[in-house]
Structure 1
């Protein structure tokens, strides 16, 4: 099928263009995920039989139903929880989706929320009816935005990852970040905390960084403290005991982290 584009206008009135993931790419990602889960399931079943064989006691054999029930529950939780956990905590990408280059996002262009991830994956049970994911495949094929039932109810779409932009001339703030040798890995923020930061915080740190190189030292120090008091509190980053340079570095790193989330290639 042809790869259609979909235009989205966010609540912040930003127009975004995404390339929808069709049946082929979604099926390929699903097959990869299922193969991985199949390996895990086989290992769990083998471990179950080894346990039962290794403890072949008459009393245990009479209670076979208990470990069997536990094994079935564990397999169910892993097979369902795999998609739910990976999609929420890995930016809408399972291992299969990451390999194929697609991800799940909300209809408004924002990252997947906990509730959306829960709903779309809970409804996999319906999409898999009557067998072999038949209903889900039919829905993806015929729906204009390639949505299955889980996507319709959760308000999500599956799109192709944006290709990296060609390297262009560094901006003033990029040169400053490079000069200081800063990297996103220098600041650890919990995924849950990161998802609480909205476009309001992104616009604040972006405005701060755009003005940062041009401001006189005194004005820059004052602005740095004002912005840090707002963003550090929201991000759970301690402000006390940090020098002016450390506060600046933290804000610049926070800018790089939020940039990946909020600055789209249009």
Structure 2
């Protein structure tokens, strides 16, 4: 199948290639998400009715299940639209359905989706779902050159396929050799999605510069730079720098570099 490619140029004049997600993959992810949402809706609805029936014996306020139905309607509305907003922002642009299919939402500039972008694209699902069955959204995705629905157009987002790990062995860069020699990997440091959101582009650029110069710096200058950067970045992941050796701080910063590289450098 011929997938459309999209190229994004960063402010550093680096070209990033993305494989756009078409109607088929987006529909598959949406169906999975809807099944999960409807399962929750059914279980929640039955649970509320059961509880309200028991409470009705203690208070007339719950008689007729009117209150229960009102609660169900409000919660179901919040879940149906909050589900997409919550997962796309706090899980790197991926709902559970998107994770299964292997697609994610990012901004037009190649960066991770922002809180505002996630809110806009998902609140506009109300319009994309018109008149029924997401008809408007399907039509726009099918005919738009970048497979965008109205929510994507207004929010400035695109849906792309996830990177697939390359099995063939590639030549290691200097910093990758350093980390291999030290036995470092991403698994050496666990960082949750919420914490990852606290890092901004300027943090990534600072750490990227540090990693690129790491092997060329004299020991004294490297130790000084390590401590300065560690004091700026490591508190964000709950790591105290006081009492740590320069080698410990270097190892933590290098592993953090791996995490941020996956977040800020897309190579599809």
The offset of 1:142, in angstroms, is: 1.0
Cα offsets for 1:110-161 (capped at 9, x unmatched): 1000000001000101111111111111111111111111111101111111
Contact 2:107 2:158 in 1 (8 A): yes
Aligned to 2:169: 167
Q: Give the alignment of 1:109-258 within 5 angstroms.
A: 109-165=110-166, 166-189=168-191, 191-232=193-234, 237-258=239-260
After TM superposition, which residue ranges in structure 1, 4 or more long, deviate above 4 angstroms? 233-237
Q: Report the aligned-residue RMSD.
A: 2.3
After superposing the two structures, state which structure 1 stretch, 53-62 or 168-177, moved more. Answer: 53-62
Aligned to 1:23: 23
Distance in 2 (alpha carbons) for counterparts of 1:79 and 1:174: 43
SS at structure 2 position matched to 1:50: helix
SS at structure 2 position matched to 1:64: helix
Contact 1:12 1:199 in 2 (8 A): no
How high is the TM-score relative to the length of structure 2? Answer: 0.89
Instruction: Give 5+ residue unaligned stretches, structure 2.
Output: none
The offset of 1:209, in angstroms, is: 2.0
Structure 1 residues 136 and 209: alpha-carbon distance in aligned structure 2, compared to 1, 3 A threshold: same
SS at structure 2 position matched to 1:132: coil
SS at structure 1 position matched to 2:21: coil
How high is the TM-score relative to the length of structure 1? Answer: 0.90
Instruction: Give 5+ residue unaligned stretches, structure 1.
Output: none
Contact 2:230 2:241 in 1 (8 A): yes
After superposing the two structures, state which structure 1 stretch, 52-61 or 97-106, moved more. Answer: 52-61
Cα offsets for 1:177-198 (capped at 9, x unmatched): 2333334344455645533433
After superposing the two structures, state which structure 1 stretch, 71-80 or 207-216, moved more. Answer: 207-216
Structure 1 residues 233 and 48: alpha-carbon distance in aligned structure 2, compared to 1, 3 A threshold: closer
Distance in 2 (alpha carbons) for counterparts of 1:19 and 1:184: 25
Distance in 1 (alpha carbons) for counterparts of 2:198 and 2:218: 32
Q: How many residues align?
A: 266
Structure 1 residues 254 and 61: alpha-carbon distance in aligned structure 2, compared to 1, 3 A threshold: closer
Contact 1:11 1:108 in 2 (8 A): no
Structure 1 residues 200 and 53: alpha-carbon distance in aligned structure 2, compared to 1, 3 A threshold: closer
